[in-house]
Chains A and B, each alone.
Chain A
Amino acid sequence: MDFLGEHSPALLPGSRPLPPVQGAIEAPHGTTIVAAAFPGGVVLAGDRRATMGNVIAQRDIEKVFPADEYSAVGIAGTAGLAVEMVKLFQLELEHFEKVEGAQLSLEGKANRLSTMIRSNLGMAMQGLAVVPLFAGYDLDREKGRIFSYDVTGGRSEEHGFAATGSGSVFARSALKKLFKEDFTEDQAATAVVQALYDAADDDSATGGPDMARRIYPIVTVITEDGFRRLAETEVSEIARAVYERRLEQPDGPRAALL
């Protein structure tokens, strides 16, 4: 990024002058991202909707990306800026790895993302915020870890599970009731799909699984074997199972009272 700054600064997101505007700019916004850790890894998932005001801008947007072999980033906020930020982030991690011959530590990656979000603060003040969720497998500590951010680049590590975006309140609450420390990979994947379903249930900007169009959430898993995005058949299987149960019990699984 330093090299890019010297060589062709116009390519960097932070260095653009902001046009004077009144009020918020209408641009597609991505919505809900959830993550849950399980022994041996972490899952990161996102719904597929992008909204522009009250309009659904896109039904099948992809908001979860691999950052490198052992980490992934899910984005909520202004889609255009977020996708660019992820692209630059991916580039930086890969560039570092190739030049230095070693990967950045997971902390290092999380800190780097923090700086990139902070450089977007000016845009965020005009309503073009980008708030990602970062998850990865820490090869040194041998576990999955989740980092959440705020618009100013403040970074905090989340233990167990986390959510970001407009539906995050609902998703987090749902995940809170479902989460167990000893999830298997498949249970964790099911739990995040449940959480996204609940978010879509109560938040108009979050899209649920679209059975008619076969648009399902994006679910990714990061373990010591690296990043893996679940194939559409796998996600559709989970999403259908969740959907079938919801036909009988629309509010989803019940937690015990005590």
Chain B
Amino acid sequence: MSTPFYVSPQQAMADRAEYARKGIARGRSVVVLQYTDGVVFVAENPSRALHKVSEIYDRIAFAAVGKYNEFENLRIGGVRYADLRGYTYDREDVTARGLANVYAQTLGTIFSSAAEKPYEVELIVAEVGSAPEDDQIYRLPHDGSIVDEHGSVAVGGNADQISSYLDQRHRDGMTLAEALKLAVDSLSRDTNGGERTLTAEQLEVATLDRTRPQQRKFKRILGRQLSRLLDEPATGDAGTAGDAAGAESDAGAGAGESGASGKGAKGGKAGGKDDSEGESGPLL
């Protein structure tokens, strides 16, 4: 009978960490940036069906890199946690901190359990507050630790290089168009300093927008709106144009407040006209 080789616990953990890190670095990156109205998520993702960025709850979103089936599992777990909590208590009682803790526990347990292979994923959980100071971004590496981030974060691929690029250039109070442009610039730099061009089709973009009138602040930026934001000049009038685009999309998504007053005025007029009676019964 052969005796198994002795492997020290340090070595075992280092091997597992190495395995997970390699898996994560193989994928493409996701960057998350704060901008003046919230948090923007930008991922390089040619697939329209498999999302790297998704909604968890009213003010909370999730971004992940690594193995799809593993982070999808975690995402669904997160949605269940959030929905159950919100239903049992109140919608306000679902927080990114609570969710990040649950993820940390799950990832930590899986990482240190010898029976399972470590998850090759790195997650970001972000929550948008009522002001930029209240925004929260948590990064959760494969081993179950939690890092509280501010401003900008990058995970997956050559995250270190992208992070340092973002750290140098990100500032508070950027508009959506500026933040998006910075994110795309950072993603399009490859390891040896060269640049690629990323088109709107290769990007998955979503925001947590605190100015959205709906309760659910998560919104994907798709198609024409995305190309328009990408084409905008990053300086000067970019701010106003970005705001206009935002307002347009909100009206499209329903419950636009500006639409309400207009309809009310119309109602008065229509009622007045109706007094002149048609063949069938008048309304008033």
Contact = CB atoms under 8 A, between A and B. Distances in A.
Interface of A: 3-4, 7-8, 11, 69, 87-88, 91, 94-95, 98-99, 101, 177-178, 180, 184-187, 189-191, 194, 223, 225-228, 230-231, 233-234, 237-238, 241-242, 245, 253-256
A7 B83 CA distance: 12
Contacts of B8: none
A190 B283 contact: yes
Given A189-B267, A238-B267, A256 B279 contact: yes
B29 interface: no
Give the top 9 A-B pairs by smallest Cβ distance, nearest first.
A226-B254, A255-B281, A186-B267, A234-B264, A225-B254, A186-B270, A245-B284, A253-B282, A98-B79
Contact of A241 (B51, B80, B83, B284): B284
A88 B87 contact: yes
Please classify how large the interface on chain B is, using the bins under 10, 10 to 19, 20 to 34, 35 or more.
35 or more
Contacts of B281: 177-178, 253-256
Interface string B250-284: 01111110011001101110110010000111111
A130 B274 CA distance: 37
A6 to B, nearest CB: 11
A181 to B, nearest CB: 11
B54 interface: yes
Given A98-B79, A228-B254, A241 B271 contact: yes
Contacts of A101: 49, 51, 54
Nearest to A246: B284
Contacts of A180: 280
Given A99-B76, A178-B283, A225-B252, A190 B83 contact: no
Nearest to A183: B283
Nearest to A91: B87
Given A87-B87, A98-B79, A228-B254, A234 B263 contact: yes
A21 B84 CA distance: 32
A245 B263 CA distance: 21
A88 B279 CA distance: 45
Given A189-B267, A225-B256, A226-B253, A7 B79 contact: no
A82 B283 CA distance: 32
Interface string B85-110: 01110000000000000000000000
Given A178-B281, A228-B254, A98 B267 contact: no
Contacts of A185: 263
B79 A69 contact: no
Given A231-B260, A237-B267, A254-B281, 8 more contacts: A7-B80, A69-B254, A101-B49, A225-B252, A227-B255, A228-B259, A228-B260, A253-B282
Nearest to A231: B260
Given A225-B256, A254-B281, A95 B83 contact: yes
Contacts of B251: 225
Interface in B48-81: 49, 51, 54-56, 76, 79-80
A7 B254 contact: no
Nearest to B50: A101
Contacts of B279: 256
Contacts of B254: 69, 223, 225-228
A69 B216 CA distance: 10
Nearest to A177: B281
A43 to B, nearest CB: 12
Contacts of B88: 8, 11
A233 B265 CA distance: 10
Contacts of A255: 280-281
7 contacts: A7-B84, A11-B88, A91-B87, A94-B83, A101-B51, A223-B254, A230-B264
Contacts of A256: 279-281
Interface string B28-63: 000000000000000000000101001110000000
Contacts of A184: 270
Contacts of B260: 228, 230-231, 234
Nearest to B269: A186
B284 A253 contact: yes
Contacts of B263: 185-186, 234
Contacts of B54: 98, 101
A7 B255 CA distance: 35
Contacts of B83: 91, 94-95, 98
Nearest to A223: B254
A93 to B, nearest CB: 11
A204 B256 CA distance: 36
A99 B79 contact: yes
B56 A98 contact: yes
Nearest to B266: A186
Contact of A226 (B51, B79, B255, B283): B255
A230 B268 CA distance: 14
